[in-house]
Structure 1
């Protein structure tokens, strides 16, 4: 489970990260990274739309992505905001593919930032 201090709950930060943050996409996820000023831990939010599947599938994808993000949160820069958007292919993708895609996107984003 992702620790509470790393959960993104502010809707305005969701919008800012999605619109103005650096973006990297793969076959199952699109990651948006917004570097921001100030102190604080990195925060991570998830967007899983109905296009991914029914409620059971969406919740499973969110749980998998939260688990994977927990492993990467320590490597995120400063007090950044990361938004991970699941694409429809994420609903049927195995855990290994989700892990590879998220790692690929985060690697590209942190090199840019």
Structure 2
């Protein structure tokens, strides 16, 4: 679970990050990264898993996997620098992807948007 300060819950922040941020996609996920102004707000992460991914059980499983994988990848990257907003959007192929495949796709997308 992500700490409360690092959870993205505001709909406007999701919208701005998706429309204005850097984007990288793969077969299972799309990652949007928006760098904010240089204030003291912590990095925030949000997840979008639509009904196109599957029934509620499948969507929740995908969301749990992505949450755990994102936490691992951010720890390996040394966290996100400064006030950034990261949105991870699951695609329908994520429902049938293995944990390892989701991890590879997420890592590759994060490396592209943070480079």
What residue ranges of structure 2 are gaps of 5+ in the alignment?
Answer: none
TM-score normalised according to structure 2 size: 0.93
How is 1:52-91 mapped onto 2 (pairs within 5 angstroms)?
A: 52-73=53-74, 74-91=78-95
User: 2:60, 2:93 → 1: CA distance?
Assistant: 14
Greater share of residues in helix: 1
2:33 counterpart residue number = 33
**Residues 63-82 of structure 1: CA distance to partner in whole angstroms, max 9, x if unpaired?**
00111111233432211000
Q: Distance in 2 between matches of 1:10 and 1:22?
A: 19
The one of 78, 93, 96 equivalent to 2:100 is 96
Give the alignment's TM-score, normalised by structure 1.
0.94
Deviations 1:22-50 (A, max 9, x none): 00000100000000012121100000011
Which structure 1 residue ranges, 4+ long, deviate > 3 Å from structure 2? none
Unaligned runs of 5+ in 1: none
